[in-house]
Structure 1
């Protein structure tokens, strides 16, 4: 990846289009699960979503492999897609973007308050 791709995010756009093309090849129930998985995983991404791409790639690969093997979506993901996605993102208690922003805001406020008080 070169500097221009990093700044513009064109590499992410290309990768995202490839994910969606792969997802179109899945059976309907797997495509529906993919849409749900994306929705549950996005809160764990950063500003650009760059760190989420390997997780999405692995999740889509799992769906592709399971569909090829003829497994049902329930066999693969179980009853709790949100829980499955939480585990993919780093387990229960994994920090999402709100947690990171809250921590950053708290640090900034504490820094400003320490300057005013000291």
Structure 2
């Protein structure tokens, strides 16, 4: 194996790895009960405003989000118990564990709050 083969393999892994993880995450998300899936999709849209520090941490935050809601669905945990009364704070605290984040416009915060209110009451 030459040095160029190693570099090429690294490029392939970078290109395919996160894509594969993203597809796996989306498949997991689709298996959630409707209200949990809707909540995850709203949180996901909000988290897209944050700039990832690297593709691996970005992928793992979505996988962890899916895992959190999968377990909550199995346990019958209400959405409000997961996100609390302030879904924006939940999402922003959640994502800060994975990156230094970016600026989130007020409109995006309002959209997340309204989406959670629709599914969680």
Range into which the TM-score falls when normalised by the shorter chain: 0.5 to 0.7
Q: Distance in 2 between matches of 1:49 and 1:80?
A: 27
For structure 2, which runs of at least 5 residues remain unmatched after alignment?
Answer: 1-8, 105-121
TM-score if structure 2 supplies the norm length? 0.66
TM-score if structure 1 supplies the norm length? 0.68
Are positions 1:5 and 2:4 aligned together?
A: no
Contact 2:33/2:73 (CA < 8 Å) preserved in 1? Answer: yes
The alignment of Structure 1 onto Structure 2 pairs a total of residues equal to 93
Compared CA separation, residues 95 and 13, structure 1 to 2 (3 A): closer
Q: Which runs of 4+ in 1 moved over 2 A?
A: 45-51
Contact 2:18/2:56 (CA < 8 Å) preserved in 1? Answer: yes
Q: Distance in 1 between matches of 2:67 and 2:53?
A: 24
Contact 1:45/1:51 (CA < 8 Å) preserved in 2? Answer: no
Which structure has more relative contact order (CA 8 Å, sep 6+)? It is: 2
CA drift of 1:58 comes to 1.2
Compared CA separation, residues 75 and 46, structure 1 to 2 (3 A): closer
Contact 1:41/1:86 (CA < 8 Å) preserved in 2? Answer: yes
CA drift of 1:15 comes to 0.6
Deviations 1:81-111 (A, max 9, x none): 22111001227xx54179xxxxxxxxxxxxx
Report the equivalent of 2:94: 88
For structure 1, which runs of at least 5 residues remain unmatched after alignment?
Answer: 99-118
Q: Distance in 2 between matches of 1:13 and 1:97?
A: 25
Contact 1:43/1:97 (CA < 8 Å) preserved in 2? Answer: yes
Contact 2:51/2:101 (CA < 8 Å) preserved in 1? Answer: no
**Correspondences of 1:37-116 after superposition (within 5 Å):** 37-46=43-52, 49-90=55-96, 94-96=100-102
